[in-house]
Structures are given as structure tokens and as C-alpha cells.
Amino acid sequence: MRHRFQYRLEYAALCLTAALLKALPYRAALTAAWCSAAFIFHVCRFRRRETLRRIREVFGPDYPACDARRIAWLSLRNMSFNLAEMMRAPDIDRAWIDRHIPAFAAYVPQVQALIQRYGGAVITVPHMGNWDLAGWACHQYGIRMFSIAGKQKNPLVNDWVNRQRETGMAILERGGGTLKQIIKLLRNGNVLAILPDVRVYTPDLKIPFLGSTANFGRGMAMFAIAAKVPVIPAILRRDGWTRHGFDLLPPIFPDPALDKEQDARRITGQVLAQVEAAIRKTPEQWFWYNKRWVLTPVREDRAGDRPTDTDLKGENNV
């Protein structure tokens, strides 16, 4: 299959960058990522004005400008570090996980016990720290992970990103799966990883979030309800450059006494309340640059497009 010249050029640049960052020592690779982030933030000023507006939207117009800039800078720097680590993903093994995420191993028995008891689980990891590390860490400890990803515009880049992620989990393409397929995986001892803090484009669950009301998809909760498995919220954060903190929060279980609508709203609300608390505690750990800004209102005239329980289209998955 032939691809557009632009796609081939972008892919070649990506492969060259990845090869360079893999060849460098870990800290040297992060130094290169830091320089790239500094140029983008201070010289190009990539989306800086919009990001600062978002921070003031959440923390108020009187929030100190120096604090807002610090949050915006560290958020972009961390994302640059995350990309560098993704490019080195095939080299991440259990020894690397133990060295750089020292708290992770202590939580593994809890997750394994929940999987053994309920057959599977849904793990929610917001856009904090290096969220992809959750999948890689679980994989190294024998926890079978899978996730759902949207397609990149460039098919060559899309395949590369999926290959990197598949070093830690299986990837299902968004729109190509069904609820039946997800439930089968969950009931066979697999764990679904979902990013919960993403706005969906069509009206769905209106949940209080960051001082406003945001529109979230019900997929996270509906998968857990249908498979009768717990939702396990987890938070990653970057401590300095090379170390990562990990917190496993109390699991949330489906309530058979509630109807699906009530239970989906309850589960989603509880997860996002924990995410909001983590963001307010360490706002620089969150990715404020997401194109799908979570507090952007949705068009109510698209209500008829909301996905059903058997359709993954438009859900808030990885």
C-alpha cells in the first residue's frame, strides 16, 4: 500500500528521533526531550496562551501568573519526557519498573486478587505523570492489559504508536470493537485500561469537574457493569526526572441494586472526583494541552448520536 509523501516523511522523522533517543542513555534522552520542550514552550509558545487560560479557568482569574506558567511549563516538559520514554518502550523491563516506579510492586497483589476474584477489572488512569507506564508496568508483572485507541491521521505513525503501546498491552481500534468483545476479554482475566478525563463530543454524562460541569462518556462504567468487574482508579506522577510515583485508589464496584444509568453516573462521578482531587493537589502533573479540553461544552443537538451499550463509537477510551 502506497502512502502520501508527507506521511512517509513524518514517519521517517519519527523513526530517526526514536532511534536517537534509544541510543542515548536514559537521562541523556530526557535532556534532549527537555531541550525540545523548552524550545517549544519559550520560543514557539505552542498553545501557551490557551493553556494558561485553562489554568485560570480552573483556579480562578486571580491565580498568580508565575504559578500558572510553572504548571504550563512542567505539563509540557512532562509530556516531552513521556514521548521520550514511549520511544524507549521495548527496553522497559521489570528491573526498570522496580527502579523507576518503586511503589508499584507493593500494589500488584491487590490488583491480582481482584482479578482472580472477579475475573477482570477496569483500571482508570488519567492524563497524569506518564500514564502509559501503567500498562507497561502491569505487563511486566504478568497482568494482561488491553486498551482501545483512536486512529492517528498518519497510518504509518498510527501503526508505530500501537506497536510501542503493545509492548505493554493489546490495542483494540476504537470503533472496531463491540461490547461483547470487551466483556469476553474482561471475564477471561484481562484488564481494560481507560483514560477517564476525556471530553466526548456528543452529550452523555454531565459530571461536576474542576469547578464546572463536563461531558464524559459512560463506557468506563458500562464495561464494568456489564462484566460485573471493579473499576480501579490509579494515579501516576513524575517525581523529578526519572522516578515515578504510583497510587492505587480504592476500587469501585457495580451496584446491582441500581439501574444502569444510575450506576454509570455513580461510578463515573466517583472516579472523576478522585481525579479532580489529584489534579488540584499536583496540577503540573496533568496534561493541560489536550485538544479535547474537558470543559468545552458539547452541542446538545447531537444527543441522538450518543453511543449505545453495544457501540464503542465516541467513548472515552485510550
pLDDT number for residue 302: 55
The count of domains in the chain is 1
The overall pTM is greater than 0.75? yes
Domain presence at residue 35: yes
- Asked whether residue 128 is assigned to any structural domain, the reply reads yes
195, 125 in Cβ contact below 8 A?
A: yes
Residue 310 lies in a domain: no
Is the pLDDT assigned to residue 79 strictly greater than 90? yes
Considering the domain boundaries, does residue 314 fall inside one?
A: no
Q: What pLDDT does 291 receive? A: 87
Tens of pLDDT, residue by residue over 265-298, are 999 999 999 999 999 999 999 999 998 899 998 8
Tell me: pLDDT of 166 over 70.
no
In a domain, 316, yes or no: no
> Which three three-digit cell numbers place residue 310?
453495544
pLDDT band at 309 (very low <50, low <70, confident <90, very high): very low
317 falls within a domain: no
Domain of residue 296 covers 5-305
- Residue 318 lies inside a defined structural domain of this protein: no
